Chains A and B, each alone.
Chain A
């Protein structure tokens, strides 16, 4: 079946603009995760959704970052007033409900803030 998809694959924006990144999880996966991969910080957890609620937002780096999930499916990560340090690859993953299931990752969105 189809894997996790993310759009856009690349996004170039100017400092101070808002951006929205989209994630479509694998059908039937109730858990959805956002991670960020950057040269300086490696792979960092941002936020986790179970259904439409986010029990763990501990990785969001600032209040400029927010995410939502609707219908237990698609999720959007929004970054307001982007800064150059936000430049990174944003990865989305999904998994089945059971706690010990592996997370399947999408191809990522490469965000470049000029």
Chain B
């Protein structure tokens, strides 16, 4: 079975604060892919990052960073110095090798106020 849990339903921060969005996944497969997508108020899902299960290196892209830990089945996303434009719903997703479908978490709504 595949499952993605995003326990944080909504997070509110003030601009310039750092914020971490949690993602915990379940899968029996040893090979899989993890993703983060952003859904701004306009509604369109925007791809942020893909990580395969063999690559546990953390990644940083500007103010965004991702921490992948197989030992805890987590793939957390941190935004440093948050900005109002970061306000959106963020989805974590899992895809097992051999299957094409993405299994999404329920999303975390991030509200960044000025």
List A residues at the B interface (Cβ < 8 Å): 31, 33, 35, 42-45, 48, 50, 55-56, 58-59, 89, 91, 93, 99-100, 102-108
- Cβ of B91 within 8 Å of any chain A Cβ, yes or no, is yes
Interface residues on B, range: 20 to 34
- Cβ of B83 within 8 Å of any chain A Cβ, yes or no, is no
Q: Is the Cβ of A43 less than 8 Å from the Cβ of B104?
A: yes
Q: Is the Cβ of B91 less than 8 Å from the Cβ of A43?
A: yes
Q: Which of B101, B103, B105, B106 contacts A48 (CB 8 A)?
A: B101
Q: Which of B45, B47, B105, B106 contacts A91 (CB 8 A)?
A: B45
State A55–B98 Cα separation when bound (angstroms): 11
Identity of the chain B residue whose Cβ is nearest the Cβ of A44 in the assembled complex: B104
Question: Chain A residues near B33 (CB, 8 Å)?
Answer: 100
Question: Chain B residues near A33 (CB, 8 Å)?
Answer: 100-102
Question: Chain B residues near A59 (CB, 8 Å)?
Answer: 101
Flag B32-69 by CB within 8 Å of A: 1 or 0 each: 01010100001111110010100000000000000000
Q: Is the Cβ of A105 less than 8 Å from the Cβ of B45?
A: yes
Q: Which of B35, B45, B46, B102 contacts A45 (CB 8 A)?
A: B102
State A43–B104 Cα separation when bound (angstroms): 6
Question: Chain B residues near A44 (CB, 8 Å)?
Answer: 104
Of A35, A42, A44, A58, chain B has the most CB atoms within 10 Å of the CB of A42
CB proximity of B21 to chain A, nearest CB, Å: 16
Q: Is the Cβ of B43 less than 8 Å from the Cβ of A89?
A: yes
Question: Chain B residues near A103 (CB, 8 Å)?
Answer: 47, 102
Of B43, B47, B91, chain A has the most CB atoms within 10 Å of the CB of B43
Q: Is the Cβ of A56 less than 8 Å from the Cβ of B101?
A: yes
27 contacts between A and B (CB under 8 A): A33-B101, A35-B102, A42-B106, A43-B91, A43-B102, A43-B107, A44-B104, A48-B101, A50-B100, A55-B100, A56-B100, A59-B101, A99-B97, A99-B100, A100-B50, A100-B52, A102-B35, A102-B47, A102-B50, A103-B47, A103-B102, A104-B47, A105-B44, A105-B47, A106-B44, A107-B43, A107-B44
